[in-house]
Copies of this chain bind each other. A is one copy, B any other.
Amino acid sequence: MYVIIVYDINVKRVNKVKAYLRKYLLWVQNSVFEGEITKSQLERIKKDLKIICNESEDSIIIYSFRTKRAMKREVLGIEKSLISEII
């Protein structure tokens, strides 16, 4: 499955979240990660993020799709990640 994760995290925890997500996904823009993962990896990520974050202060939205083909991706301006080379 393909996921896009966007987050708004307290500055005390944001680097920890970023370092964690880098293990599974590609950083594409400030506070935005993308990539192909399995269902069990997604469950693991959700579980771990709940531990890392303070759910009364932080906000994470996870958009998931069965396949990347369900989505069209367009960039205006700078492509900050290498994803365009990977696609």
* Copies of this protein in the complex: 2
Interface flags, A44-57, vs B, CB<8A=1, else 0: 00100110011111
Q: Indicate which residue in B29, B64, B66 contacts A61 across the interface (CB closer than 8 Å).
A: B29
A64 near B58: Cβ-Cβ < 8 Å? no
Task: Please count how many residues in chain A sit with their CB below 8 Å of the partner chain's CB atoms.
Answer: 37
CB distance from A67 to the nearest CB of B (A): 9
- Pick 19 A–B contacts, CB within 8 A, sort by A: A4-B4, A6-B29, A6-B32, A8-B29, A29-B61, A32-B61, A46-B74, A53-B77, A55-B76, A56-B78, A57-B78, A59-B78, A59-B80, A60-B77, A61-B73, A61-B75, A63-B71, A65-B71, A71-B71
